[in-house]
Amino acid sequence: MQRRKFIAGLGSLAAAGAAGIGTGAFTQVTATRNVDVEVAGDNSAYLQLKGLASSSSYVTDDGSGSTLSIDLDSGNSTANGGDGVNPDAVTKINQVFKIKNQGTQEVELSISKAGDNDGLVKFYPSTSYADSISSNPLTLAAGGSETISIKIDTEGEGVSDGDELLDSVTFTAAATSSP
């Protein structure tokens, strides 16, 4: 008799355990939540990109002050006839624009470039020209900023009048720690 009670109790326990495990299982869940994300201009975004007055002839925006553009080509010729950088030369332009971390976390800033000769154009913090941001990401604390300079080195590269060096630049700011 005891044996029957034991087997019946064990069977009941196994059935209850299986029922308990099976009640919380699901295959898929779809949940909709409200999320507010807005686009802000380069001047007021979490990662501010702002041209400096000293380089106003090279740095422009899209007409509404929201997108930074650096123009060192024939489309931005000067009143004195200049319309690009020299071939077989090194051109340095100090303090072209400022990058500011307007977010709440420290970020590591890196730059990737695209263009026919993108390796000839490098971006540097301040005016040091020691470590390019493409090779060595820059760390910006929350509220921190850095002035960026540009160096274009066409020496021995065989580029000539009208050759495109750089088409676009992508700035990536990744949080270095969780909030």
| Domain range for 86 | 47-175
From residue 33, how far is each of 30, 36, 107, 164 by CA, in Å?
10, 10, 28, 46
Q: What is the rounded distance in angstroms from the CA atom of residue 149 to the CA atom of residue 128?
A: 9
96 close to 151: Cβ distance less than 8 angstroms: no
pLDDT at residue 28, as a whole number: 73
Total Cβ atoms within 10 A of residue 85: 19
Amino acid sitting at position 79: A
Q: Please report whether residue 106 resides in a domain.
A: yes
| Burial of 121 per CB tally in 10 Å (0-12, 13-18, 19+) | buried
65 part of a folded domain: yes
Sign of CA dihedral 48, 113, 155, 72: negative
Cβ neighbours of residue 26 closer than 8 Å, sequence gap 6 or more? none
> Is 21's pLDDT higher than 90?
no
Contact of 99 with 49, CB cutoff 8 Å:
yes
Q: Do the beta carbons of residue 47 and residue 106 sit within 8 Å?
A: no
- For residue 58, being part of any structural domain is answered with yes
Residue 20 has pLDDT above 80, yes or no: no
Q: Are 154 and 85 in contact (CB under 8 A)?
A: yes
Q: Which parts of the chain are beta strand (E)?
A: 47-51, 59-60, 69-70, 90-101, 107-114, 121-125, 138-140, 145-153, 168-175
**30-67 pLDDT per residue, tens:** 676 777 777 778 888 899 988 887 777 778 765 555 78
Q: Does residue 165 lie within any of the structural domains?
A: yes
Question: Does residue 84 form part of some domain?
Answer: yes
Question: pLDDT for 106-164, tens place per residue?
Answer: 999 999 999 999 999 999 998 678 888 888 899 999 999 999 999 999 999 999 888 88
Q: Is residue 12 part of a domain?
A: no
Q: Is residue 157 part of a domain?
A: yes
Q: Show the DSSP H helices in 31-172 as ranges.
A: none
Is 1 a member of any domain?
Answer: no
Instruction: Say which CATH number the domain at 88 has.
Output: 2.60.40
The domain total for the chain is: 1
